[in-house]
Every structure is written in C-alpha cells, then in structure tokens.
Amino acid sequence: MNLRFREKGPSPKLRRQLIILGLVFLSSLILFSLLFNFHRRPRALSMDKPSLPGISVGLKDRQINRLFAYTTPMEGSYMRGTITPLIDGDRLQLTIDSLGKAVQSLDYELRSADGQNQLASGQLNDLGGGGQDPSAEIDLSGKLEDETEYLLTLTLQLTGSKEKIYYYTRVLKTRDDHVEEIFDFARDFHAKSLSDQYRDLSVYLNDPSREVNSTDLTEVNLNSGIGQIGYGSLKASQVREPDYSFTDINTNYCMLESSFILRKDDQGISRYFTVHEYFRVRYSTRRMYLMDYQRRMDPIQTDGSISVTGARLNLGVGNGNLNCLSNETGSLISFVSGGDLFTYDQGKKSLKRIFSFRDDSDLTDPRSNCADHAYKLLGLDESGSMDFVVYGYMNAGPHEGQVGINLYHYDSVTGQTLEKAFVRSGDSYQILKASFSDLLYMNGRQDFYLIVDGTAVRIDLNRGKTTELLRGLKKGQYAVSASGRYLAYTEASEPADQIHIMDFETGEKRDLTASDGEKIQVLAFMGEDLAYGVIRPSDQTKDAAGNVISPMYQVKIHSISEDKELLTYQKDGLFVVGADCSGATLTLRRVRRQGDHYVSADSDSIQKSLTEKSDFCEIQAQEDPGLGMVTIVQMTDSGRETTGQEKAQALRFQRADLAAAPKKASLQLDPGDQDLRYFVYQGSRVDLTTDSLIGAIDRADADMGLVVDSKAHTIWRRDKRAYVGALSGFKVNDVDKGADASSQALSAILMREKKPTKVSDLTAQGKRPAQILDESLQGSLAVDLTGAKLSQVLYYVSKGSAVYALLPGGEAILIVGYSADTIRYFQPQTGNVISARMDSISGQLEEAGNVFLSYVKAN
C-alpha cells in the first residue's frame, strides 16, 4: 500500500504571496520614511573670488585713489568716494589692475559734478603697459576750470566680453592746494607711527602733555596717547603698501584716507588686521597742521585667531561697536567681526563662519577687504538657523560689483547659507546705508519689509514677488518701531487728521484720529509704543521767511499692542517742535511764544520703562600683554562645573556653503521723484541724511564736515575764511526804491548779480523771499537758512554771496563782511555799509528768529 504524507505549513504559492506582500510593505515603509524625513539640500556653492579689475590714478610717481568696479551704471553724483587732483596740466594718468585679462577698450566721460552736463568724452584703445597692468592717459585740456569739481566716469571692456565695467571719481584742477606736500606728510606720519620714531608725532596731539594709559588700538585719534598712536605693544608688520585716497580738496585743507593690512605672528598664529586712517591736513609755509586724525583697526579672523575660555569668547583686537545677537537661552550667539558673520555654539564649542566676501587664499586682496558693506542680524533660533541682511557694495559672488540689500537665511540643518532676495540700488554704499535702515522686518509668513528712499516694499519670499506699499515717505512723516513690526505714517508731511499704523506681522491696519479742531503728527517710537504730537491750528504761524511753524502743545505716548494712551505730556506756555528717541529716552525740542513768533527753549525728555530681553552676550574689554585691549564676549555659563584654571582654546572655524534658493526675489527700486535731501559727509563717509538743512549744517559744523544736497550741490562746509572786508556792488533797483525793506534787500542782491528784477511785483504776488531768489538767479540755488547760527551763515559771505537777514521789527539787511568780532552789513534804505559788534548783532538776529537767506552757485 502506498502512503501519501501531507506537507504541513503554507503552500509554495502562499509563501510567494507573503514574500511579495512583505517586500511591498518594506518598500512602502522606506518610501514614506524618505518622503516625510527628506530635507532638500540645495546644490552647495562657494563664494567666488573677486574677479573685477581695479583702476588707480597716478600722482607723479605714485598711485592713489584705487577705484572699485561696478557692473551696473550708478548715480554718478552720489559717487563721492574719491577726488582726483590734477596738479600738472590737464592730463590724467591711469593704471589698470587687469588681473592678467586683456583689456579691449576704456571709455571716459567728463560731466559737471551734478552729472547733468557732459563736457567731454572719448575712447582709449591703445593702452600702454602690455597685457600686465595696462596704463592710459586722458587729456582733458581746455575742459576744466580751476578749483571746480567734475564727475569722471570710466567704462572698461575686457577682450571677449560684452559686459561693461564702470568706475567713478571726482576730478579737480588745483592751483595752490599743496596736494603733494600734504600727501607726503600723511605718508610720513603713517611710516613713523609704525616705527621707533612714533614719539615724534606727539606734537600733533591735542594735548601732548596729557598722560593717557589706554592700550585700546581699535579707534585712535588726536585725543589718544602717543603709545596708542605707535600701536602700543602690538609689534605688527605691514603686509603691503597702503592705498591712499583723497576725499576732499580745497584751498583751506585736504582730506585723505589710507587702508592697509598688518600682520602679527603670535604663538604660532598669524593674526591679520585691516587698518583705516583718516587725515585732515592744512598746509602752511611754516608747518603742517593736522586738524584731525582718526584710525580704526579691525581683525581679519582666521583659524585660531578666536579663542574660548569657559563662557568667554576672545575676538582679539578691534571689534568696536560689535554687532551681536543671541538665541533665547544664550547657548548660541551670532556676531560680526572683521566684516565676516559668525555663529558660536557654546555647548559644542563650535565656531562657524556664516558669510564672508574674503578670499582665504589671499587675505591681502584690496577687493576682498573693501569695507563698503555691513550686516543687520534679523533673528537667531534655538537650532542655530538665522536670517540676516548684507547691504552695500558686494565685493564678490554673484552680485560682485553691485550695490544693494541682500537677504540671506542660514539653515543649521544643511549648513548652508541661502540667498532669499536681492534689492539692487544705483546709489553708493554710503547713501544706501543712510537711507534704507529705517525698516527691515521679516514676519512668520516669510514676508520681508523694507523702506528705501522713501518707498516701502513687501517681498513675498515664498513666491519671489514684490509689492510696493507706499511711495514718497519723508523724514518726519513716518516712524518705525524698534522691532520693525509697526510703521506709523501720515498721508503728507504736514500735520494730519489721522495717523495710519501698519502691523507687518499680522497685516492689520488701524488709525489714530485727532480730536475735532486739532491735528496730529508722528514723532517717534519708544520701543513698540508710538509718540505723536497734537497741534491746535490757532498755534500755527509763519516765520519771517514764510515757512509754516506747527508747534505741538501736547505729546502723547500710545501703546500699539494694547491700543491705549499711556502718557500725555503738556507744559503751559511751551510747545514741542521735534523729538529724538534714544533707548528709553524721548528728547523733546521745545519753543516758547514771543509775540507773533516762537523762540527756542530748553529741551525736555520723557523717560519710559522698557522691559528688555536678557542680554546673553555682554561685550567686555580685557588687557592682553601682546595685543593691547581685546574684545571679550561673555556668554551665559552653560552650568557645567569649572575649575577656574581653564586654558584658552584656539578655535578653528567651519565655513558655511552658499546655496541659491529655488525662488529668489530680485528687483531694483525706482526712486522716482525725490524731495530734496541733504547729506553730511566727513571724508567719504556719510554721517547723516536728512531733509532738514539746518540739522545738516549743525551736524557738519560739529563734525567739521560738509553738506551736499541730493542734486550734488555743495551747500555748506566748515571752511570759511577768517576775514572778509566787505562785498561790493550792492544797490537797490530804482523800481524798488519805494518798496518795503525786504523787497529792497532782495533787489540789491539781484542787481549785484546782474539780474535786475522788479521785486516788489513778485512780493505782491505772494512769493516768498527764497522763491524770488530761486526764480530770479538762474544758475544759482537759493538757500533758506532760517534757524541757523550767525557763525554758520558767514560761510556764504566767505564764498562771495550776501546773506539776507531780518532784524527785530522786520528790517531786512544784507550781511556782506566780517572779522573776528565785527559784522558789516548793507542797509538797503540808505545804501550804507554799517559795522556792528558781532555779539550785539547776533543777539538782535536771534531775537528776530534767526531768519537768513543766501544762495550758492549751481554746478
């Protein structure tokens, strides 16, 4: 009998099915895991090295004024970085640092300083010097007037390239400005400061006998000690010759700057420093007068130059005004040092460089070390990811040679820095820096808000789209909260019925409305709370020059988040005409009524308690025997036990890769028609931008600077002559001899300028004095100086222009001369020139409201 045994378990068919199902399940599990956990990592890039050629200018056998390249045309009238002196004829010598690239052509264009009138142009095809650093000569014979500034634009084209590269400088044909002697003096001062002869320079200090024990080398000036002038114990050597640039040349003084790199070998670490010097020098036959000297030193951070001891991060020499930000717990900080952005993780003792234009293979490259950019840190989260802005001139990378605002996001997971948006500008870095920083805010929906040149823009980073929100915003018309979240503005710059408030985080809009019969005006934010003024129309008046004065009888502080008034300020008999906020203090500029006009009164202030986030990165200074004063970032202690005997640990830093974001917004804002603005320059640096001429003059007076308007007219500078006998040629037009004193004074100005006009007819039409001069003096620009000091308006007399002024009772006079203690003025009614003591006439002018009017020659 045959027995058949039945097999136990699943059949082969079933086993195959189970295996297939298992494989499908496993594959699905892996797929879903990848889908849910996949973090897209963009393609990693590195910052390209600087690639654009540079151009320098010859001064006899030396090179000055290194010109940096721009890949898009710029607003030439704002490019005031250098001024090139022509001291031997009208020929300009140029040397091109072509980086070994062949140069096809070099075009030039000479224009008036405001850029409006072309005076010469040409193309240079035959360049000397062969392929290595070719040279060129531009002949400007017959095109230049002595002591007059012009704008020179150079356009370079490399062989095989269709791209044009632009360079800008001002040029000046000098007579007796002693440029060479002043240049030699600056070079000698620089050389001695780095040598054993540095003590010879003590004669130039403001107080050579004063004992100064500071070893701080970050910022040095004529109030410093001679040891600081001589670099103290640093004992560093110069790596390459300094680059010198003239920034201002006139008959009274010259201003020039130098930049160079020092190196110090310190315990196996090579430390590098960028140094910038600023000189203001006056020549005399007996000696040189060093009117001002400033020096700033910053580190070039390399592996090992930053060290840590416990919770103390040592950044070395420099780092003045350190830009630092921490996360909520203080375990992570980000900071800007030496022009580079870093993050430090205290727990991991990990240092990472997030962004830098610097070429690590050549730390001395002037293009990498160009300091015309800055950072704004927007936020740092607990994981170490952060958002930040780089604004200014782009030394390298995809936007090399452009000026703009670049928004970046650093992703701590991928270790990459992604570009999110780029806003291109046609202005110089200095103008951009002064005009855009009112607002930078990014909300949780990835909307980025900024204001540039009075235009408010929203950039949707998710879609890469931009929306213009507001245009034509003026200083005094709006204010931005400390965080950037709130914008308060009125429809016009005058007092209004409503103040509009935009919340950039929520997108909400709301209004503050004035009471019946009153107007309100934005003043400033105190943190996140708005300060605004209340005006009664009955208090408004016009000054003698026709300007409307709107004094505020009340100031209110309004909480935006709680939508309620926190404080009301009011003082009987006193009015507020402006305010400035610094931290928790609101300083009020006040006036009091005197008859039918207002006169200055003492300022007052409002203090507000602000609850601030704990400061997790305290900046300290510490003495170092070999470096002098160094900067320490004291972080919150991590809580681990320390022995107090920890040794400093030198840190090597990782370098974040760059990555292009999948979607990126790129735009150039059209500034449109801008109201007149004033820029205060100190050398090549813009200290202030404002629509208040008097505010600009006050700042330039304090800083020994100059005021330039947005059309490139030089409006004021602190360099008047010590004595002006008396300008002549004033007489009242016969047709105006029966007119009022103001019309007669204006008539005398126009007769002297050979522009005879019946001023009394224009006055009868309601035209203001400034308007009459502006319309009648073609080729000149009327300057309303109401509110300025007498000492300030004498600048115009020094330049050959009379100053219209009012005495008590409305009598108009023309200031035509001065000495140290005397004023000479023309009296239109009598035709006489009268002398008066400076202190006496100054008091009368102040009593009348300091009403002044003059004019400058347009470029």
> Is the CB of residue 262 less than 8 Å from the CB of residue 273?
yes
Q: Which domains does the chain have, with CATH numbers?
A: 54-79+88-173 (2.60.40.10), 179-300 (3.10.450), 486-526+528-609 (2.40.128.660), 678-717 (no CATH), 734-857 (3.90.70.10)
Give the residue from 449, 407, 489 showing the smallest Cα distance to 457: 449
DSSP 407-450: EEEEETTTTEEEEEEEEEESS-HHHHHHHHTT-EEE-TTSEEEE
Phi first, then psi, for residue 812 (nearest 5°) are -95, 135
The DSSP bridge pattern shows strands 350-355 and 653-655 to be parallel
pLDDT at res. 474 = 83
* pTM attached to this predicted model: 0.87
Q: What is the spatial distance between Cα 661 and Cα 587, in angstroms, rounded to a whole number?
A: 44
Q: What is the spatial distance between Cα 362 and Cα 370, in angstroms, rounded to a whole number?
A: 13
Classify 317 in phi/psi space as left (phi over 0), alpha (psi -120 to 50) or beta. beta
The DSSP bridge pattern shows strands 219-221 and 165-173 to be unpaired
CA distances from 48 to 261, 466, 665, 801 (A): 22, 28, 21, 53
Q: What is the spatial distance between Cα 290 and Cα 205, in angstroms, rounded to a whole number?
A: 9
Burial of 424 (0-12, 13-18, 19+ CB in 10 A): middle
Q: What is the spatial distance between Cα 644 and Cα 623, in angstroms, rounded to a whole number?
A: 18
CA distances from 325 to 335, 338, 387, 544 (A): 6, 16, 11, 50
Cβ within 8 Å of residue 557, ≥6 positions away: 526, 529, 530, 531, 565, 566, 567, 568, 569, 586, 606, 608
Please give the structure tokens belonging to residue 77: 């009238």
Please give the structure tokens belonging to residue 298: 């910053």
Positive or negative CA dihedral for 523, 525, 526, 528? positive
SS (H, E, C) 559-576: ECCCCEEEEEECCCCEEE
Cβ within 8 Å of residue 751, ≥6 positions away: 729, 730, 731, 732, 733
Give strand pairing partners of 648: none
Phi first, then psi, for residue 289 (nearest 5°) are -105, 115
Give strand pairing partners of 521: 533
> Is the CB of residue 388 less than 8 Å from the CB of residue 375?
yes
pLDDT in tens, 123-138: 987 776 655 778 999 9
∠ Cα 667 430 65 (to 5°): 115
The amino acid at 443: N
Q: Helix 838-847 vs helix 790-798: angle between axes, to the nearest 10 degrees? A: 110
> Is the CB of residue 782 less than 8 Å from the CB of residue 853?
yes
The SS3 call for residue 526 is: strand
DSSP 68-100: PPBSS---GGG--S-EEEE-STTEEEEEEE-TT
Give the residue from 716, 705, 715, 712 showing the smallest Cα distance to 683: 705
pLDDT at res. 638 = 57
The DSSP bridge pattern shows strands 237-238 and 323-326 to be unpaired
Q: What is the spatial distance between Cα 744 and Cα 760, in angstroms, rounded to a whole number?
A: 8
DSSP 336-392: EETTEEEEEETTTTEEEEEE----TT-TT-TTTT---EEEEEEEE-TTS-EEEEEEE
Q: What is the spatial distance between Cα 802 and Cα 824, in angstroms, rounded to a whole number?
A: 11
Q: To 10 degrees, the CA torsion angle through 592, 594, 597, 598? A: -20
pLDDT at res. 38 = 45
> Is the CB of residue 758 less than 8 Å from the CB of residue 775?
no
Average pLDDT by stretches of 10, the chain with 859 residues: 49 67 66 50 72 93 94 92 89 91 93 90 79 85 90 94 96 88 97 97 92 90 96 93 94 93 90 96 92 95 92 87 85 93 92 93 91 92 92 94 94 92 90 78 90 86 86 87 92 91 94 95 93 94 76 95 93 91 86 82 81 65 90 77 62 84 67 74 87 90 90 87 90 93 95 93 91 91 93 95 93 95 95 94 90 88
pLDDT at res. 9 = 58
Positive or negative CA dihedral for 627, 629, 635, 639? positive
Q: What is the spatial distance between Cα 219 and Cα 230, in angstroms, rounded to a whole number?
A: 13
Q: Helix 790-798 vs helix 693-703: angle between axes, to the nearest 10 degrees? A: 90
Q: Helix 769-776 vs helix 741-752: angle between axes, to the nearest 10 degrees? A: 20
Q: What is the spatial distance between Cα 634 and Cα 649, in angstroms, rounded to a whole number?
A: 15
Give the residue from 302, 301, 294 showing the smallest Cα distance to 275: 294
Q: What is the spatial distance between Cα 311 and Cα 634, in angstroms, rounded to a whole number?
A: 6
pLDDT in tens, 384-433: 999 999 999 999 999 999 999 999 999 999 999 999 989 898 989 998 88
Q: What is the spatial distance between Cα 846 and Cα 370, in angstroms, rounded to a whole number?
A: 46
Please give the structure tokens belonging to residue 624: 């170092």
The SS3 call for residue 332 is: strand
pLDDT in tens, 449-491: 998 878 898 998 888 788 889 988 887 899 999 889 999 999 9
In total, the chain counts a number of residues equal to 859
